[in-house]
């Protein structure tokens, strides 16, 4: 497809471990509107892939395809060697940070516990000890033990998002899907959450797909970028994709990628420009 | 005032079958509605409960006119209502108005059916504001059977239901069939509501289906503890309401709703005090 894609495929394929996420000739269209087509993507164990692009470019739809909630229009999608299906144990999912109703009667610990066995039928009285051990470990791993017994609605956005990461990881998934997990967090918490996810990928060999508008907190941590724009896309290491030439080609209009210190600013990208901070409609 | 505290009159009345039936019915109702109440609150279904209750009333009125069991009629009405609300109001934004539309139609139809009923006026009125002393042993068997079914089904679907109630996006991502659980829970609520219509009446079912849950979730964020507390609150309100109403011989509804409301106020008070203490610390 492009030079960047070739490089990425060479990297992920070959002698390395078999990929945890594999898309082949994947096409997703709503009626006549094609979100993406001919998408070949392998995500290896331990790899951190950022999924970038303007609103409506099909980033969230990609997540839904991987979760088995939406079928591809054509092509194949595999998670850990088997076709993607609803409710896969192998996937952890971190949703967008949204305001939680402050009167909602759930503690952080309950939210994480639901990530462990909330999809099972019955009351779950038999597995209580195992559940407690798992939940405690997941809470400790993200540093959320201190506020685990407080109502979720009274916690800050950053604290809630830590719990979300714990909830996604409590089942020890092979693949972690994060859909705009940094939305409405301040810069410090964006860093914390991004680093929690990156550490997980590194230490447990979890394959991470991370959809975000906030490129700067994650860019130093990611291995590769999937950049989607109006049906076109590019896959490759950040240094190859995040350039004025590549993005100008993708957008079809002049785009400037400027590096200021350790920050990247993408200017001129329609609907995704400026500080790359655009509100995503859910 | 002394009539309210007339212990000997109360004890005297407790010897009667119809009083014992009433107390049993209230205990069953308290258990079921208390178990459902925290989820009703979490899913913001107060208005849906109210709408379902009105249609249980319609079903009861139809049964009265046709000479069938009022309990069975209320049950049928509530289940139809729950399914109707579940099917017509799948979209969040539409739910509210669909309930309003269905509720008003059902209530109007119920009034018409009652007008057509040639029997005693007391029977008519009791459907709206309750008449727990009217529970006979057939009704009691139906009540207990329906309650058991609700509790068993609730136990089976409890975790996915809680998951999709408090965290819908992740629940769906984890494969929880939220679309099927919504109407199922609506039916459970419908059955419980129908049981309440016979005892506390259509207009006052909220006092047992919503208030205990709202009170419990004020004082704890632990879902299990909230359920236990809601059951206790609902039992105190339902059984306590009947006991208090015996000696003075006034309608139970006033006492049931009054106790329920007082418990709610107390829980709000506890929550406010606790918040102030946290803020001060």
β strands within A99-255, DSSP E = 175-179, 207-211, 224-229, 232-236
- Spell out which residues of chain A touch residue B175, defining contact as CB-CB under 8 Å: 68, 86-88, 119
Instruction: Give the Cα separation of B118 and A179 in Å (integer).
Output: 63
Chain A contact set for B42 (CB, 8 A): 104-106
Instruction: State how far the Cα of B151 lies from the Cα of B53, in Å rounded to an integer.
Output: 19
Q: Is A178 helix (H, G, I), strand (E, B) or coil?
A: strand
Residues of A with Cβ-Cβ distance to B35 under 8 angstroms: none
pLDDT computed for residue B9 by the predictor? 80
pLDDT score for B25: 87
What residues of A are in contact with residue B278 (Cβ under 8 Å)? none
B60 in the Ramachandran plot: left (φ > 0), alpha (ψ -120 to 50) or beta? alpha
Chain A residues whose beta carbon lies within 8 Å of the beta carbon of residue B41: 105
pLDDT digit string, tens, across residues A84-141: 999 888 999 998 877 788 778 899 999 999 999 999 998 888 889 999 999 999 999 9
For residue B91, the model assigns a pLDDT of: 67
Q: How far apart are CA A39 and CA B70, in angstroms?
A: 62
Residues 6+ positions from B221 with CB-CB distance below 8 Å: A104, A105, A106, A107, A110, A149, A150, A151, A152
Task: Give the ipTM.
Answer: 0.85
Alpha-carbon gap: A87 to the closest alpha carbon of chain B (Å): 4
Given a cut of 80, is residue A277 above it in pLDDT?
no
Cα angle for residues A177, A183, A189 (degrees, 5° grid): 95
Q: How many CB atoms lie within 10 A of CB A144?
A: 24
Cβ pair A69, B173 in contact under 8 A: yes
Q: What does the alpha-carbon distance between residue B264 and residue B182 come to, in Å, rounded to a whole number?
A: 27
Residue whose entry in the numeric block shows the structure tokens 């989820």: B39
Per-residue pLDDT band at A4 (split at 50, 70, 90) = very low
| Cα–Cα distance, A35 to A136 (Å, whole number) | 41
Note every long-range contact of B134-138, with CB atoms under 8 Å and residues 24 or more positions apart, other chains counting: B134/B198, B135/B18, B135/B21, B135/B22, B135/B25, B135/B198, B135/B199, B136/B18, B136/B21, B137/B21, B138/B69, B138/B71
Q: What is the per-residue pLDDT for A9?
A: 46
Chain mean pLDDT for chain A: 87
Contacts of A91 in chain B (CB under 8 A): 173
pLDDT number for residue A100: 80
Quick one: CA torsion of B193, B194, B196, B200, rounded to 10 degrees? Answer: 120
Helices (H), A67-186: 108-117, 128-141, 157-169
Q: Tell me chain A's radius of gyration from C-alpha atoms.
A: 19
| pLDDT confidence of residue B85 | 81
Q: What is the pLDDT of residue A22?
A: 96
Mean pLDDT (whole number) for A245-265: 89
Pairing mode, strands A207-211 and A224-229: unpaired
Report mean pLDDT in 10-residue bins for chain B, 281 residues.
68 83 89 96 90 89 86 88 78 80 89 83 63 68 91 96 92 91 91 82 85 95 96 96 84 88 96 83 66
For the entire predicted model, the pTM comes to: 0.87
Closest CB from A69, A107, A123 relative to B221: A107
pLDDT band at residue A198, thresholds of 50, 70 and 90? very high
Q: For residues A177 and A66, is the Cβ–Cβ distance under 8 A?
A: yes
Report the C-alpha gap between B254 and B271 in whole angstroms: 26
Query: Does residue A279 have a pLDDT over 80?
Result: no
Q: Which residues of A lie inside 8 Å of B (Cβ-Cβ)?
A: 67-69, 86-88, 91, 93, 95-96, 98, 103-107, 110-111, 114-115, 117-124, 149-152, 164, 167-168, 177
pLDDT digits (tens, 9 = 90+) for A34-65: 999 999 999 999 999 999 999 888 999 999 99
Looking at the partner chain, which of A88, A111, A177 has a beta carbon nearest the beta carbon of B167? A111
Provide the pLDDT for residue A63: 95
Is residue B164 within 8 Å of B172, Cβ to Cβ?
A: yes
Instruction: Specify the pLDDT at position A276.
Output: 46
pLDDT at B228: 97
Q: What are phi and psi of A265, to 5 degrees?
A: -120, 125
> Which of A73, B43, A218 has the alpha carbon at shortest distance from A64?
A73
Q: Which residue of A has its CA nearest to B167?
A: A111
CA distance B244 to B250: 9
Distances (CA, A) of B69 to A151, B79, B107, B109, B259: 45, 16, 19, 18, 30
Q: How far apart are CA B68 and CA B122, in angstroms?
A: 17
Report residue A2's pLDDT band, with 50, 70 and 90 as the boundaries: very low
Say if the Cβ atoms of B175 and A88 lie within 8 Å: yes
Count Cβ atoms within 10 A of the Cβ of residue A265 and give its class: 0-12 exposed, 13-18 middle, 19 or more buried: middle
- Decide if A106 and B166 are in contact by the 8 Å CB cutoff: yes
Q: Which residues of B touch A96 (CB under 8 A)?
A: 169
**Nearest in space to A75 (alpha carbons), one of A36, A47, A44:** A36
Q: Which residue has the higher pLDDT, B9 or A193?
A: A193
Per-residue pLDDT at B215: 97
**Mean pLDDT of all residues in A173-199:** 91
* Contact criterion met (CB < 8 Å) for B169 and A114: no
User: pLDDT tier at A7 (50, 70, 90 boundaries)?
Assistant: very low
Residue whose structure tokens are 């990609």:
A62
Please give, rounded to a whole number of angstroms, the shortest distance from the CA of A81 to a CA of chain B.
Answer: 19
Widest pairwise Cα distance in chain B: 66
- Minimal C-alpha gap between A195 and chain B (Å): 22
Structure confidence at residue A231 (pLDDT):
87
Question: A78-104: buried (b, 16+ CB within 10 Å) or exposed (e) per residue?
Answer: bbbeeebeebbebbbbbbbbeebeeeb
What whole-number distance in Å separates Cα of residue B198 and Cα of residue B200?
A: 6
Q: What's the mean pLDDT in A165-189?
A: 92
């Amino acid at each position: 497809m492009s030079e960047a894609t070739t490089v990425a495929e060479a990297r992920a394929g070959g002698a390395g471990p078999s990929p945890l996420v594999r898309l082949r000739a994947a096409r997703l269209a709503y009626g006549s509107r094609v979100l993406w087509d001919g998408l070949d993507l392998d995500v290896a164990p331990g790899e951190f892939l950022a999924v970038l692009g303007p609103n409506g470019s099909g980033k969230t739809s990609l997540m839904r395809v991987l979760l088995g909630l939406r079928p591809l229009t054509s092509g194949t999608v595999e998670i850990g060697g088997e076709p993607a299906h609803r409710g896969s144990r192998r996937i952890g999912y971190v949703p967008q940070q949204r305001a939680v109703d402050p009167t909602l009667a759930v503690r952080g610990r309950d939210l994480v516990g639901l990530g462990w066995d909330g999809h099972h039928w019955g009351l779950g009285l038999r597995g209580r000890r195992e559940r407690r051990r798992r939940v405690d470990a997941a809470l400790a791993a993200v540093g959320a033990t201190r506020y685990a017994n407080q109502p979720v609605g009274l916690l800050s956005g950053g604290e809630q998002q830590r719990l979300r990461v714990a909830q996604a990881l409590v089942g020890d998934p092979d693949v972690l899907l994060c859909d705009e997990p940094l939305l409405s967090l301040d810069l410090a918490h964006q860093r914390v959450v991004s680093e929690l996810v990156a550490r997980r990928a590194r230490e447990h060999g979890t394959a991470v797909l991370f959809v975000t508008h906030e490129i700067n907190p994650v860019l130093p941590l990611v291995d590769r970028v999937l950049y989607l724009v109006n049906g076109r896309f590019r896959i490759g290491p950040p240094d190859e994709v995040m350039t004025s030439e590549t993005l100008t080609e993708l957008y079809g209009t002049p785009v400037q990628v400027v590096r200021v210190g350790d920050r990247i600013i993408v200017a001129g990208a329609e609907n995704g420009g400026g500080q790359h901070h655009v509100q995503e409609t859910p | 005032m002394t009539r309210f505290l007339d212990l000997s009159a109360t004890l005297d009345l407790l010897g009667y079958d119809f009083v014992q039936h009433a107390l049993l019915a209230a205990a069953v109702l308290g258990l079921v509605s208390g178990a459902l109440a925290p989820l009703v609150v979490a899913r913001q279904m107060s208005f849906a409960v109210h709408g379902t209750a009105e249609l249980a009333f319609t079903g009861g009125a139809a049964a009265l006119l046709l000479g069938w069991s009022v309990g069975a009629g209320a049950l049928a009405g509530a289940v139809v209502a729950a399914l109707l609300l579940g099917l017509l109001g799948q979209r969040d934004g539409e739910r509210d108005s669909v309930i309003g539309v269905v509720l008003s139609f059902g209530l109007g139809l119920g009034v018409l059916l009652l007008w057509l009923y040639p029997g005693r006026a007391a029977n008519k009125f009791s459907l709206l504001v309750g008449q727990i002393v009217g529970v006979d042993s057939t009704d009691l068997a139906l009540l207990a059977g329906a309650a058991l079914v609700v509790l068993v089904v609730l136990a089976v679907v409890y975790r996915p239901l809680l998951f999709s109630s408090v965290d819908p996006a992740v629940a769906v991502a984890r494969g929880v069939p939220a679309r099927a659980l919504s109407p199922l829970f609506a039916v459970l609520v419908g059955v419980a509501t129908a049981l309440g219509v016979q005892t506390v009446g259509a207009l006052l079912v909220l006092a047992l289906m919503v208030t205990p849950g709202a009170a419990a979730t004020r004082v704890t964020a632990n879902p299990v503890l909230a359920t236990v507390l809601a059951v206790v609150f609902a039992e105190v309100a339902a059984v306590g309401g009947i006991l208090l109403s015996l000696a003075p011989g006034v309608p139970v509804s006033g006492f049931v709703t009054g106790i329920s409301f007082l418990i709610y106020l107390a829980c709000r008070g506890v929550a406010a005090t606790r918040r102030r203490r946290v803020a001060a610390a």
